[in-house]
Structure 1
Amino acid sequence: MARPSIVPIALTLDDRTGYTLWAPPWEEDGEEWQAFLGNSEGETAVVHLFPTPAALAAYCRTSTDHDLADHPVWPVVAGLGAADVTPDDDHRYDLDGVYDVVADNPDRWAVEELAATFEMTGRLAECCDTAPDDEDDDEDETAFESVAELMAAPEVAMLGLGIDAFVGRAGEEAWIRLGGTVDELWEDVLEELEEHLDWTGAGTVDPDDYPPAAESAAVVDDGADLDDADVDDAVPDTAAPDDADETGARDDTRGDDTAAAAVPTSTISSSSRLSADPAAVAAAAGFWEGVGILPVEVVVPEGAGLTLRCYVEDAARFLGADREVFLFHTPAELTAFVRGEEDHDLTEIASWPEVAETGTTPLPVDQDRYDLVEVADVLAEVADGAAGLVDHSVLVQPVEGVRDLAEYAGLTRVEELLGTGTPLGQAVARAERDPRAALRAEDAARLTGPWDELVGEVSAALVFRD
């Protein structure tokens, strides 16, 4: 099992977003555990939620009276700032938005979002379910009957197979059945969860402190990098008394048949330069996926740029020419080029006329952002002592982008650096096999040089256009 870690997450429910921490399953003394920032002692187990990452960070600095207090990496988490406990986009779960997702036609983002949301719902139920086991009954009692029924639905299990499970006639019917299951159960699921969500942050905040969900997202996007004074002032000092219980009750998840999701544990913020409203990105995604040409963001030391990419017979092809990829600093600059007359390698794609005429802004989804600078920063921080906060999954998505760029530009040196016998190749293979495996300081130090060389090779094939 991977090294123990703690991940910031955000939950949106009833038009408010709360921030908390989740410890994915880890093994200790031969047993498997998982936990949330909350308290499972007493009649009702609760998960503490906070209106801002700053309020969450302040609580972590001052309190040990919770279920994560004896987690192996809690001493590290207790010293983190607001930016470090701000969830990335992969760990934001919009429980309010489930109805809207199932009401639309399925695409890969909808399937992935529902799969992640339902899995986190199941995790919350597992940790908050304190119903006693009855050895005389064939089935254990649970306080989350609707959650259990939802997770047992075949259509929910199909979400783990990706979008391929919902294509064709049979897939369309499965999606319709999934919508029916959500209509029948989701309201009851939310009622069961709500009883266990503490919107007072263990008494440190007031529920009225929560802004509307959309406003909360905008505040976090614009100001996550708060200084220490901001964090210290975010909530009152609620340090636990000297005799506070630091054992922290944890949920025993032995025997759980649901496989744990492979989730990144990096607390280092992305250096992506493009800021866009998630709703706008989702709205634009339908057009770009429909034409089969997707906006892509690439971040290298020279800057961040947008381009377009498609696949022709499974080979990546970019907006560019002569094995050079054209990058643009803004969506507006990319749009202006697309509407121009200059020849390039995408003009012969059948759907290109639709792209040239569209008014849809080219906004990349998170899966099509490749931040090569962030990887270099992560490797440097891990080598400098941040081991335990980052796992191998940090390599997966950037390397996918690198391989596409190298294939298009004919960068043979990149393929050599990613060969199976090289340090980078071995690390990438580990990331694909076991993404939650912790990245050790010695691993990061060994990868820094090869990664810098790889980024240099890729950067040479990128041309920033005015």
Structure 2
Amino acid sequence: MAADIVPIELGLTAGNLVTLWAPLWREDGEEWEAFLGHGENLYAFPHVAQLAAFIRTEDEHDLADHPDWEDFPDALTHELQPGEDRKFDLVGVPELVSGPADIWTLAELGDTVAILRSLAEVCDLDVVNSVLDSAEGFQLLSFGESAFSGRGGEKLWTGIGKAVVARWDEVIDALDAIVITPEVNAEALVQAEAEFASVAKLEAGVLVDGEREIEAAEDDVERSEELKFWDEIGIDCITVTVDGKSGHTLRCYLGQQAVFLSVANRIQIFTTGTGLLDYLADAGNKHTLSGIEVFDEVRSGAAAGDIEIVAGPENTYVIDGVMQQLAKGPEAVHPRKLELAVELLTDAATARGDEETTDAMTTATPLGSLLGACLRPDPNRLAPAPPFTDEVTAWNILVERFVATLDWDGGSDDEFDELD
């Protein structure tokens, strides 16, 4: 499928409709931009099968002259499904701006405003530009939280909210007026629907790769009595393999916040189960879990020798080897292993308040893009291209930060006493 023609979803009064968008391209010294439509109408469909059937049988539309259109109608139906970053909930903007101006809200609103600007330009929707020009904040969304912090930022955000309350209906009405769903060839539609259903069945069906076999095996594991203790008490016994060493520690969740067995933001990890039990049994050891009510059961059980250190497969983290897989690209990555590694690094970073690490794994970064391609592959998006040197370097930095927080067997290495 041509990379510069992309399927998008627009949330309008009629529901979520799928169409095609060709971002700016240059031809004969001029810049062009287009959507699937004709004349004054924008074509959009309730289902990708209808979109597929239409582009396979009709050639009277504004994308027919696009330099890459010739091969585009050959795209499989499921390839026309918009990715999450190509879904624009236009009717949901009033609800969106009613909340705080956090990084996620600003990013979503920024993407929505950008596609609206494109629609306004291509479809001559002056009223849309008028609304978006009525509040200064709309022009500053690309600057993120920095533009909307402090008293001045609050004023900008309030201005956006007021503009939306007063005039957003004009934006939606203007789009509703030009969007139509043209009739499609019945035979082509049947074929496209069957094609889509076949792929959906494959994706949702029984084990299609080794990864799903692993997940199924995890689901089928009968919990041992030792694991049931940790399950019932709400504290996870976890095993970590990193830098050629394996160790055991504890973690629980208070609400959504991960809390590790740690002292001064340093995770206490032990190379043997006996070492961890001895540490847990000593009432003189003060750590992040010692104040939790249920921890008394852990302490008494460790002292009496009634509990064992054992981690379930969902709490077994192997960081070693991930770097080598990432260096080879998404096809070489074991998704479950990577998913668990990302979970551990994220939990540990959140617990110590390390926003730099969590931000480094968002989709806004090259590393985050590679992680997304490995864990949530999207056929509608170009996969990251090798070499992955920068991504691997970024990953190693995050692993080194994590390693620097580990106190092995009750003591810390001098070189890691202070984190960079």
Shorter-chain TM-score range: 0.5 to 0.7
AA aligned opposite 1:64: D
1:32 correspondence with 2:35: no
Matches within 5 A, 1:440-455: none
Q: C-alpha separation between the residues in 1 aligned to 2:113 and 2:176? A: 15
1:203 Cα offset (Å): 2.3
Q: State the match for 2:261 in structure 1.
A: none
Q: State the match for 2:127 in structure 1.
A: 145
Aligned residue for 1:26, secondary structure, equals strand
Aligned residue for 1:23, secondary structure, equals strand
Structure having the higher helix fraction is 2
5+ residue gaps in structure 1? 130-142, 207-225, 235-271, 275-285, 289-296, 308-324, 329-333, 339-344, 353-363, 382-388, 412-466
Q: State the match for 1:448 in structure 2.
A: none
1:171 correspondence with 2:203: no
Residues matched between the structures, number = 266
Tell me which of 300, 304, 313 is aligned to 2:336.
304
Q: C-alpha separation between the residues in 2 aligned to 1:18 and 1:367? A: 26
Query: Is contact 1:156-1:178 (8 Å) kept?
Result: yes
Q: State the match for 1:71 in structure 2.
A: 66
1:4 Cα offset (Å): 8.1
Distance 1:196 1:350, change over 3 A: closer
Distance 1:405 1:148, change over 3 A: same
Query: Is contact 2:117-2:128 (8 Å) kept?
Result: no
Query: Is contact 2:83-2:381 (8 Å) kept?
Result: no
AA aligned opposite 2:43: H
Q: State the match for 2:352 in structure 1.
A: 349
Query: Is contact 2:335-2:375 (8 Å) kept?
Result: no
Aligned residue for 2:19, secondary structure, equals strand
Q: C-alpha separation between the residues in 2 aligned to 1:26 and 1:17? A: 27
The alignment's TM-score, normalised by the length of structure 2, stands at: 0.53
1:101 correspondence with 2:96: yes
Q: State the match for 1:405 in structure 2.
A: 395
Q: C-alpha separation between the residues in 2 aligned to 1:111 and 1:127? A: 24
Tell me which of 170, 190, 207 is aligned to 1:188.
170
Deviations 1:375-424 (A, max 9, x none): 7999xx9xxxxxxx976x8459x88764432113359xxxxxxxxxxxxx
Aligned residue for 2:74, secondary structure, equals coil
Q: C-alpha separation between the residues in 2 aligned to 1:67 and 1:158? A: 31
Q: C-alpha separation between the residues in 2 aligned to 1:189 and 1:347? A: 39
Q: C-alpha separation between the residues in 1 aligned to 2:196 and 2:256? A: 45
Deviations 1:312-345 (A, max 9, x none): xxxxxxxxxxxxx8456xxxxx7xx97xxxxxx6
Q: State the match for 2:184 in structure 1.
A: 204
Matches within 5 A, 1:230-241: 230-231=194-195
Question: Over aligned residues, Cα RMSD in angstroms?
Answer: 4.6
1:304 Cα offset (Å): 3.3
Matches within 5 A, 1:261-300: none
Q: C-alpha separation between the residues in 1 aligned to 2:376 and 2:140? A: 37
Query: Is contact 1:54-1:81 (8 Å) kept?
Result: no
Query: Is contact 2:49-2:193 (8 Å) kept?
Result: no
Query: Is contact 1:146-1:185 (8 Å) kept?
Result: no
1:149 Cα offset (Å): 3.6
Q: State the match for 2:308 in structure 1.
A: none
Q: State the match for 1:111 in structure 2.
A: 106
1:128 correspondence with 2:123: yes
Query: Is contact 2:138-2:160 (8 Å) kept?
Result: yes
Matches within 5 A, 1:283-432: 301-304=333-336, 326=341, 349=352, 367=364, 369-371=368-370, 374=373, 394=384, 402-409=392-399
Deviations 1:247-286 (A, max 9, x none): xxxxxxxxxxxxxxxxxxxxxxxxx999xxxxxxxxxxx9
Q: C-alpha separation between the residues in 1 aligned to 2:81 and 2:17? A: 11
1:183 Cα offset (Å): 1.1
1:15 Cα offset (Å): 5.7
Q: C-alpha separation between the residues in 1 aligned to 2:371 and 2:353? A: 31
Deviations 1:32-73 (A, max 9, x none): 111110002xxxx11101111121111111110101111111
1:232 Cα offset (Å): 9.1
Query: Is contact 1:4-1:72 (8 Å) kept?
Result: no
Query: Is contact 1:125-1:193 (8 Å) kept?
Result: no
Distance 1:9 1:351, change over 3 A: closer
Q: C-alpha separation between the residues in 1 aligned to 2:83 and 2:91? A: 19
Aligned residue for 1:78, secondary structure, equals helix
1:153 Cα offset (Å): 3.0
Query: Is contact 2:4-2:23 (8 Å) kept?
Result: yes
Distance 1:347 1:394, change over 3 A: closer
Aligned residue for 1:179, secondary structure, equals helix
Deviations 1:145-202 (A, max 9, x none): 343342453110011211211112211121111101111221111111111111x2x2
Deviations 1:212-259 (A, max 9, x none): xxxxxxxxxxxxxx985625999xxxxxxxxxxxxxxxxxxxxxxxxx
Query: Is contact 1:144-1:192 (8 Å) kept?
Result: no
Structure number with greater CO (CA < 8 Å, separation at least 6) is 1
Query: Is contact 2:5-2:22 (8 Å) kept?
Result: yes
Query: Is contact 1:11-1:92 (8 Å) kept?
Result: yes
AA aligned opposite 2:20: L
Query: Is contact 1:20-1:36 (8 Å) kept?
Result: yes
Deviations 1:101-150 (A, max 9, x none): 11001111111111111111121121112xxxxxxxxxxxxx52343342
Distance 1:52 1:229, change over 3 A: closer
Distance 1:32 1:350, change over 3 A: closer
Q: C-alpha separation between the residues in 2 aligned to 1:376 and 1:287? A: 22
1:92 Cα offset (Å): 0.5
Tell me which of 73, 78, 82 is aligned to 1:83.
78
Distance 1:347 1:181, change over 3 A: closer
